[in-house]
Amino acid sequence: MTEIYIHTITKEEITGMDFSRFESLFGEWPQLRGDSLRRRYNSLAIFVSGYDLHPDEIYVISEVRAFFSELHRRWPWWLYFIHNLEASIAILYLCLLDRVESFKRENDAMCSAAFDIEQLLEHIQNDFIRMNFLMDRAGMTDEENNTRSQEILDLFVPSIGGAK
């Protein structure tokens, strides 16, 4: 059974660009091998606290975007480790884009995002290389790799690769 690690990044960490707590908890994960690495596959959910009263979606707030861009530069292993609890994968990748817009209708709890799909796919393609490397080191099968890849692509563009 896979454990889910829920990690909340605080507004103070974001504004201070402080990665120390994250790095102390998860920094060594990419160096693991075999079963130790496999147990951490799809197991980390990342949340942000301190922006509940902010009127914008988390992925359009400039300081949040800057924080996650730097976190990705330091720890580019997201596609292997991140669990998509509460759409966390989509939110993280939207933070990496040069430009993203958020749209919300009055009295609608849901929000839509507009972004450059080419730029997003470029980030994902680069991260697939890292994900594939870790999956191989964890002893995972090609089928598991293909399933994960399709799940990631389906988050953004369900028509790619013959989605269900």
pLDDT number for residue 82: 94
Q: How far is it, in rounded angstroms, from Cα 140 to Cα 132?
A: 9
pLDDT digits (tens, 9 = 90+) for 128-141: 999 999 999 999 99
Asked if 155 and 90 touch (Cβ cutoff 8 Å), the reply is yes
Average pLDDT, stretch 22-42?
Answer: 96
Residue 146 or 112, more confident: 146
- Name the band, by pLDDT with cuts 50, 70 and 90, for residue 157: confident
DSSP letter (8 states) at residue 82? B
Average pLDDT, stretch 100-112?
Answer: 71
Residue 115 or 136, more confident: 136
Q: How far is it, in rounded angstroms, from Cα 80 to Cα 102?
A: 27
What share of the chain has pLDDT > 90, as a percent?
A: 62
Residue 127, Ramachandran bin (φ over 0: left; ψ between -120 and 50: alpha; else beta): alpha
| Tally of residues, the chain | 164
**Phi, psi torsion values for 17, nearest 5 degrees:** 45, 50
- Name the band, by pLDDT with cuts 50, 70 and 90, for residue 155: confident
**Phi, psi torsion values for 45, nearest 5 degrees:** -110, 130
The identity of residue 96, as a single letter, is L
Beta pairing partners, 5: 44
Going from N- to C-terminal start, the domains of the chain cover 5-156
Residue holding tokens 């799940």?
151
**3-class SS at 48?**
strand
The pair of three-digit structure tokens given for residue 21, joined into one six-digit string = 């707590």
pLDDT number for residue 163: 44
Residue holding tokens 């393609």?
125
